[in-house]
Amino acid sequence: MKILIAYASLTGASEDVAKYIAKKFENPKIVNLSTVKNIPDFNKYDKIILGSGIYFGKIHKDLKKVIEQNKELLLNKKFAFFFSCGSTDPKKHKEVIEKNYSSELKRKAMAISCVGGILNYKKCKFPAKIMPYLNLKMLKMKKQNPPELDYKKMDEFCEKINNITLNKPSKNTKNQNGSKTKTKKVKQTEQNKAKQTEQNKAKQTEQNENKIEQNKQSKTKQSGK
* pTM greater than the 0.75 cutoff: no
Quickly count: other Cβ atoms within 10 Å of residue 82's Cβ. 24
Query: Taking 60 as the threshold, does the pLDDT of residue 31 lie above it?
Result: yes
C-alpha to C-alpha distance for 103 and 157, rounded to whole angstroms = 20
pLDDT in tens, 70-129: 999 999 999 999 998 777 788 989 999 999 999 999 999 999 999 986 655 445 555 555
Number of residues that make up the chain:
225
* DSSP-assigned letters across all residues of 122-169: GGSPTTTTHHHHHHHHHHHHTT-PPP-B-HHHHHHHHHHHHTPPPSSP
Beta bridge mates, 90: none
